[in-house]
Structure formats: structure tokens, C-alpha cells
Amino acid sequence: MTLALAVLLAAAVGWCFGYRAHARQEAFRAEQAARLHGPHPAAVADEIAIGLQTLAEACCDRWFVSAGAEHDAPCTSRWATAVACCPQCTVTPGTPCHQSGEALAYAHTRRIQEAKKVQP
């Protein structure tokens, strides 16, 4: 009789420990399923906003893509117009180049070369 009670008690204790381990595994699986996978949507939205702000502050697309190493032709013309005199049409910095009395939308090549000498 004592042996039977010992076996019954051992079986009950073993079943309890096994049940608790199984319950922990199920709780862990439920927690993993409830968590968000990947980055949090708010963090992703913040990263996108920062990228768009940086792009908006860029002077041109080529400058943004090349991390500041290169510029598009119109961007180079704006820069050269702002910082250098034009030896070809003899205008001061800030004044656009002109030809036959009409302002040009771009800077002369000599003005761009002059700007590179002024601010490399």
C-alpha cells in the first residue's frame, strides 16, 4: 500500500512539473506571436521623415545620391553664379551671365572654372 501511494504521489508530482513546463512553453509561444515582428512602425515613419527632410535640403539629386561629391549642371551654375565673377561677360557674383543683353539660365564655363579657383 505504501508503495502504491508513493507511485501515485510520484506520478502526480511528475504530471504537475510536466504540465507547468508545457504551460510555460505555450505562454512563450503566445507572447512571441503577440509581439511585433520587424521594426516598429513609428520608428520606420521617423526614418522616412528624416530621409525626406534631408532630400528636401539637398541642392540637387546628384549631390544627394553621391553624398555631396557631385552636382548637377544647373546646381553648379547656381553655385558659380553666387560665388564668382564671370570673365566672359564681366558680371559680379550674384548676377547671372548674359549673352546679347539677355540673362542666361546657366553660367559660362569660364565662370565655373573661376568659382573652382575661389572655393575649391
| Residue pLDDT, tens place only, 1-39 | 787 777 767 776 666 566 667 778 888 888 887 776 777
Instruction: Specify the pTM.
Output: 0.45
| Contact present, 105 and 80 (Cβ < 8 Å) | no
> What are the pLDDT digits (tens) for 29-75?
888 877 767 777 788 888 889 988 887 777 777 877 887 777 777 77
Please, which residues have CB within 8 angstroms of residue 63's CB and are 6 or more apart in sequence? 69, 70, 71, 72, 75
- Which DSSP state fits 68? T
Structure confidence at residue 105 as a pLDDT band (50, 70, 90): confident
**Average pLDDT estimate for 64-88:** 81
- Look at residue 16 in the predicted model and tell me its pLDDT: 59
